[in-house]
Chains A and B, each alone.
Chain A
Amino acid sequence: MTPAGKTRRRNRTGKLWRRVKRYRFIYLMTLPVLAYFLVFSYYPMALGIYNSFREVKLLGAASFAGLNNYRTIFSSPVYIQAFVNTVAVGSGKFLLQFIWGLLLAVLLNEVHRKAVRSAFQTVSYVPYLLSWSVVGSIWITLLSPSGLVNGLAQLFQGDSYRKIVFMSERSHARAIMIFTGAWKDSGYTAALFLAAIISINPVLYEAASIDGATRLQQIRHILIPSIRPTVKVVVVLGMMGLLRNFDQIFVMANSSILDKVRNLLYLIYNEGIVQFRIGPASAAACVVLLATMAISFTVRHLIRYDQLS
């Protein structure tokens, strides 16, 4: 390095150090947050990655296992099936939730009485606040042989009606998970869309109205394009959560439909927590992490997320 280069480097370091010194209290205030993430997020993640290459016992020394844990999960038909289930249920739920949420937001926007709109919004948002143990139980009861759905069917079809045990119907299993998942979370998606919709400048609607645009045309040509940034956010958030559905399956699955809905997180729980096989469970968790990152980056790139406006 030339003397001039060395001087420039020294100046840059000095400038950086002076800046750090100047804002030292602000940097100090970020330390707890950094420590929190290091201890509760990055350390467990690093440990998980490390364990995925080891044969880990609950007690005693672990040994290096190379790629054995990864071989185990990639050669297991149960893991492959779980991956298919995860993607099928996850993407189905996301699509339905997206459409449902958008529709709900547009319809709510058409309600002009504030009290009515708030009431509808609250009712649609409440399921999102409830845990899956509550929501799962509600749907299991509604779909049970003595539940509301069978009751209504019996009412229309009479005593000849043979009750359907929906939660044991293998052909309906994924659809039920998709529907109930979307039902629970669409209120949240609708809230995001509605926030974007109500911030649209009303002058645009007025101008369109003067030009003779119908309400549907206004929605298509003003509302939808205006909420594009929010759509991008919802898509990215949805894709990041695609592989991370555990509670619903844990609460609602049963033996008869398990292999149709058992997803990767459920399998990881069973492998790691129930059967104490930490190595394969860690490897599967790493695969979920990598797949989530890959999906997120791809989707961000495809929808040009960085150009939010």
Chain B
Amino acid sequence: MKKILSVLLAVTLLTGLFAVTSLAEADGGAVRMLVAVTGGKDAEEMALFAQALGEATGLTIEMEKPADYNTTLMQKLSAGESYDLIYLNADMYMNLVQQGALTDLTDFISASEILTNNVPPSEWEDLKVDGRICAGFNKRELHIVVNLNKVMLEAAGIDYKAVEPTLDGYYQTFKALRAANGSPDFYPFNTVLSQNWDLQPWMSAAGLKGGVVADEDGLTYVPYATDAAAPVWEWFKKLYDENLLDPSSFVDGTGDMRNKMNAASRLTAVDVDWAAWVGLHNANAAAGGVSTQDYEIVSLPGCRTPEGAYRLRKGSASLFAVPVNASNVEGAVKVLEYFATQEGGLLLSLGIPGHDYTVDNDGNYTLTEIGASHAMDHGAPVPIYTGFVNPIGLNLGVEEALTYIDYAGIETIIANENDYKSIVGKWAISMVRGEIGIPEGLAAMRSELVAMGICQK
């Protein structure tokens, strides 16, 4: 018995030794990544993704994708665990920069031809905090657009390209949609008012930008809470009063809104969503056997600003940062560089070669059944590389939605974004429901935003 135990122990030790050796064998060393959205869809595919990334970069890649990302990140970092790359969204990035938890990558980035040439300079500018850049990009953030159900609009006698780009133009459109569809569960317009990330195409009518901005004296304020936003909030109230806005907008999340917009339910005809969702709605409908005669989502850029342009917003950055206790910063930067190339973009969008897609001798790309079910999203539906070409092609409607990207800008990153959304959402709902007058609601919104330290006036 003792002999058997000794042999087992020896085998275990040797296996561990070989495992360590294999880690050390890769040229660039090992890179440990804690990821939230990047990689495969299950454990098996995560391993394949890490292997593909490792082969492409000459690194040994270890990837962990926990279910409860925020909690895991907090626990692991505070326990002193070392990762070379961690996934962050914009407000997490700000919090960790403020805590001095991230490595300053400014010099690495300026020394890298790939990172300086393949990523637009404006994207790097948006990441600067006190002149320092402490992260690289997971993907290119798209912008929001107005999604419209073309078939429903046509049934109401409306050509979507003829919709007047004003608040009143959309109001008339919603009224026509309501008249054409009398179902009590149908509402022409839907939004996620409680989280208010999708209001920009309407606030554009007042020329207002979302988030926090600074005035000429450097004092920060929230444009949606100013009196200039009153006409837009009045418009929302009118839509609610006239049953054109889904009352569930006060409590629904983004997923609920999308479910109402999709081909299976069609409980709403107009919402605001990320440009990629125009294509996803259409692709999902096609996958479900629904033809474009019955269902097609198209997009518009919303209301014109008083100056005659449009004002949309881009998504908050989706990033990878290097914690200050990382052991392989060079390796981490190498991964960031790879993500900013055509090949890296293919891995992040189409997925793993041979698993998610195949390439024939003529260089034609074809999605496998697994790849098709993953909808060309392995962390970055649109990679950060400016010259990226998707060899499969874009989903129906996305090309049109992408034409509006020049109108889109990023909102200033703030550390307490959740508080911002919660306060704006609360008072917005009160105003739209008519529980409080618009001027009083805006004053209360401003007052609470200042009290919570989100802005200064």
Identify the A interface with B (CB < 8 A).
Answer: 56-60, 77-78, 140, 144-146, 154, 159, 163, 165, 167-168, 170, 254-256, 258-259, 270, 272-276, 278
With A165-B247, A255-B425, A273-B74 as known contacts, state yes or no: A59 contacts B195, CB within 8 Å.
no
CA A272 to CA B247, docked complex, whole Å: 33
Contact of B251 among A59, A78, A254 (CB under 8 A): A254
Contact of A273 among B70, B100, B248 (CB under 8 A): B70
How far in angstroms is the closest Cβ of chain B from A206? 55
| Residues of B contacting A60 in the complex (Cβ-Cβ under 8 angstroms) | 99-101, 324
Interface residues on B, range: 35 or more
| CB atoms of A254 and B74 under 8 A apart | no
| CB atoms of B195 and A255 under 8 A apart | yes
Contact of A255 among B100, B415, B422 (CB under 8 A): B422
* B266 adjacent to chain A (CB < 8 Å): no
Contact of A272 among B74, B96, B250, B425 (CB under 8 A): B74
How far in angstroms is the closest Cβ of chain A from B283? 27
How far in angstroms is the closest Cβ of chain B from A240? 24
| Residues of B contacting A159 in the complex (Cβ-Cβ under 8 angstroms) | 184
| CB atoms of B251 and A144 under 8 A apart | yes
* B325 adjacent to chain A (CB < 8 Å): yes
CA A163 to CA B246, docked complex, whole Å: 10
| CB atoms of A165 and B422 under 8 A apart | no
With A144-B248, A146-B248 as known contacts, state yes or no: A57 contacts B426, CB within 8 Å.
no
| CB atoms of B99 and A276 under 8 A apart | yes
| CB atoms of B451 and A165 under 8 A apart | no
CA A77 to CA B451, docked complex, whole Å: 9
With A58-B78, A59-B77, A256-B251 as known contacts, state yes or no: A276 contacts B95, CB within 8 Å.
yes
* B71 adjacent to chain A (CB < 8 Å): yes
| Residues of B contacting A168 in the complex (Cβ-Cβ under 8 angstroms) | 194, 250-251, 429, 433
| Residues of A contacting B184 in the complex (Cβ-Cβ under 8 angstroms) | 154, 159
6 CB-based A-B contacts, threshold 8 Å = A58-B78, A60-B101, A145-B246, A165-B247, A256-B429, A270-B418
How far in angstroms is the closest Cβ of chain B from A60? 6
Number of A-B pairs whose CB atoms are under 8 Å? 88
| CB atoms of B95 and A165 under 8 A apart | no
- Nearest chain A residue, comparing its CB with the CB of B100: A60
CA A253 to CA B250, docked complex, whole Å: 12
| CB atoms of B430 and A57 under 8 A apart | no
With A168-B433, A255-B194 as known contacts, state yes or no: A58 contacts B426, CB within 8 Å.
no
How far in angstroms is the closest Cβ of chain B from A188? 26
CA A58 to CA B101, docked complex, whole Å: 7
How far in angstroms is the closest Cβ of chain B from A214? 48
| CB atoms of A273 and B77 under 8 A apart | no
| Residues of A contacting B416 in the complex (Cβ-Cβ under 8 angstroms) | 275
| CB atoms of B452 and A78 under 8 A apart | yes
Contact of B415 among A59, A78, A275 (CB under 8 A): A275
Identify the B interface with A (CB < 8 A).
Answer: 70-71, 74, 77-78, 80, 92, 95-96, 99-101, 184-185, 193-195, 246-248, 250-251, 323-325, 415-416, 418, 421-422, 425-426, 429-430, 433, 435, 451-452
| CB atoms of A276 and B194 under 8 A apart | no
| Residues of A contacting B193 in the complex (Cβ-Cβ under 8 angstroms) | 255
| Residues of A contacting B422 in the complex (Cβ-Cβ under 8 angstroms) | 255, 258
| Residues of B contacting A258 in the complex (Cβ-Cβ under 8 angstroms) | 422, 426
- Nearest chain B residue, comparing its CB with the CB of A256: B429
| Residues of B contacting A165 in the complex (Cβ-Cβ under 8 angstroms) | 247-248, 250-251
| CB atoms of A259 and B426 under 8 A apart | yes
How far in angstroms is the closest Cβ of chain B from A164? 8
Q: Given A60-B101, A255-B426, A256-B430, list of 12 further CB < 8 A pairs?
A: A57-B100, A57-B101, A59-B99, A59-B101, A59-B324, A144-B248, A167-B250, A254-B425, A255-B194, A256-B426, A270-B418, A276-B99
Top 5 closest pairs, chain A to chain B, by CB: A255-B425, A168-B250, A255-B194, A256-B429, A59-B101
- Nearest chain B residue, comparing its CB with the CB of A277: B95
How far in angstroms is the closest Cβ of chain B from A72? 12
CA A260 to CA B232, docked complex, whole Å: 27
| CB atoms of B195 and A146 under 8 A apart | no
CA A276 to CA B78, docked complex, whole Å: 10
| Residues of A contacting B77 in the complex (Cβ-Cβ under 8 angstroms) | 58-59
How far in angstroms is the closest Cβ of chain B from A126? 26
How far in angstroms is the closest Cβ of chain B from A215? 45
| Residues of B contacting A276 in the complex (Cβ-Cβ under 8 angstroms) | 74, 92, 95-96, 99
CA A140 to CA B256, docked complex, whole Å: 12
| CB atoms of A254 and B248 under 8 A apart | no
How far in angstroms is the closest Cβ of chain B from A147? 10
| Residues of B contacting A273 in the complex (Cβ-Cβ under 8 angstroms) | 70-71, 74
| CB atoms of B70 and A256 under 8 A apart | no
| Residues of B contacting A163 in the complex (Cβ-Cβ under 8 angstroms) | 247
With A168-B433, A278-B78 as known contacts, state yes or no: A58 contacts B248, CB within 8 Å.
no
CA A272 to CA B71, docked complex, whole Å: 9
- Nearest chain B residue, comparing its CB with the CB of A275: B95
How far in angstroms is the closest Cβ of chain A from B116? 28
| Residues of A contacting B74 in the complex (Cβ-Cβ under 8 angstroms) | 58, 272-273, 276
Interface centre among A154, A159, A167, A256 (most CB of B within 10 A): A256
